Structure 1
Amino acid sequence: MEAAVFILALIDCCALIFLSVYFIITLSDLECDYINARSCCSKLNKWVLPELLGLAVVTVLMLISLHSFIFLLNLPVAAWNIYRYIMVPSGNMGVFDPTEIHNRGQLKSHMKEAMIKLGFHLLCFFIYLYR
């Protein structure tokens, strides 16, 4: 049973690593003006919910299988993603909004967040692989 839990977590983590890299590439394309803000935000917003669900599945899976350290490791990141998704102001396109992405350094903060998530998912990947 434990092997199945970590195999599923490893597969989910691979998908989350792919999404983090996709977010970084898309945001860097916007930063270099290869794509416009509207298309960038629409591309990223359609992957916000699958990322949220993927991280929530692993977190709940670790809670159910009683791996408390890994659960506590995943909990802050899952809570942050849920908070960001819930706190989207009304009228915005989503977590990534084309009218605000260039204001107040949001592009840099989104890029930094994507880099941190990539590092976190890589750390989790090696933890799941070792277990």
Structure 2
Amino acid sequence: MAGLFLWLLTFFFILALLCMVGYQLISLVDLEFDYINPYDSAARINNVILPEFITQGVLCFILLISGHWFMLLMSLPYLYYNVRLYITRQHLVDVTEIYNQVNWEKKQRFFKVGYLVMLFVFSVFWLIWSITEEDEY
């Protein structure tokens, strides 16, 4: 039962990460189509970036203490990328440069979404696997 709980927890953490990155992507698309001004768009994106980084760190910690090594190894490159952005202070969106960087920021978020969808599929697979394993006993 503990294995099922841990997989549900990772499932919801990955879903939360997908929602946060999707929100950032929607803010960038709204900026690109001029539905929102650059200040509001940058503020919305910057408000979600640190919770995204913390959620990814907690997810990796949960995978580490639960012993799900494959999923941990799959999650570490994303965590490394986030830590590298934070250390070099490139994690926040600059209001004055957001129009020049909107295409790069969108590509970056699309890559994150693709990576998280892959993690989500693996998480669902292992969740279903753990449910069927418990039914056998």
TM-score normalised by structure 2 residue count: 0.85
> 4+ runs of 1 displaced by more than 6 Å?
none
Alignment of 1:43-54 (within 5 A): 43-54=44-55
Match of 1:99 among 96, 99, 119: 96
Q: What does 1:21-60 align with in structure 2 at a 5 Å threshold?
A: 21-60=22-61
Tell me how far 1:129 sits from its aligned partner. 1.2
SS in 1 for 2:98: coil
Counterpart-to-counterpart distance in 1, 2:38 and 2:85: 19
Where does structure 1 lack aligned partners over 5 or more consecutive residues?
none
Cα offset, 1:86, TM superposition: 2.5
Q: Residue 46 of structure 1: SS of its match in structure 2?
A: helix
- Aligned position for 1:126: 121
Alpha-carbon offset, residue 119 of structure 1: 1.2
SS of 1:48's equivalent in the other structure is helix
Aligned to 1:14: 15
**Could you say which structure has the higher helix fraction?**
2
The structure having more radius of gyration, on CA atoms, is: 2
Q: Does structure 1 retain, via aligned residues, the 8 Å contact 2:24–2:44? A: no
| Paired-residue identity, % | 31
Deviations 1:86-115 (CA, angstroms, capped at 9, x unpaired): 2226xxxx6111112223xx2111101111
Aligned length: 125
Letter in 1 for 2:72: F
Partners in 2 of 1:22 and 1:109 — Cα distance?
16
Taking only aligned residues, the RMSD between alpha carbons, in angstroms, comes to 1.4
